Structure 1
Amino acid sequence: MAKIKPISYLKANAAEIMRTIADEPGPYIITQNGEAKAVLVDYESYEQEQETLALLKILALGEQQVREGKTRPAAEVFEELRRRWQDD
């Protein structure tokens, strides 16, 4: 669950937040003047989110190519791969 903290808390307790984030992954939502302005997450969570986003982009691109008819029969692709492996 996200922890909501004002920027003044972040400034005063940065070291504590860094320790907490390492032990209890989960985002900190940092507010300024009562409005959410930033999100602070541990590095591992950030990396996992980036990998997930990359996979989702690949899936979206694949779906778009299918809608546009940019596909090839699987048998044709497998045959091309077999030829490439034999040439190596």
Structure 2
Amino acid sequence: MRSPDEGAELGFEQDIKPLFRAKDRNAMLAHFDLFDHADVAQHADAIIGSLLSGSMPCDGAWPEAHLEKLQRWIDMGKPA
């Protein structure tokens, strides 16, 4: 079954940035900014890899729908 927004265009500000919490951002600021499109786009492969391996975030796994949304955004070319 397809989710309602499965075929929809995704954008960073409205779709991806809200997946990250302020505490996630603060934990990663020494490396990159999870609230910045350019930083997330540059590190997208490492971010999705860490999420899939369970090493990020440290307080529990993301829901499958969040992982799928992030992967679709990456597959779409990481639009702003």
Q: Which structure's CA Rg is the greater one? A: 1
Q: TM-score, normalised by structure 2?
A: 0.28
**Greater strand content:** 1
TM-score of the superposed pair, with normalisation by structure 1:
0.26
Between the two structures, name the one with larger relative contact order (CA 8 Å, sep ≥ 6).
Answer: 2
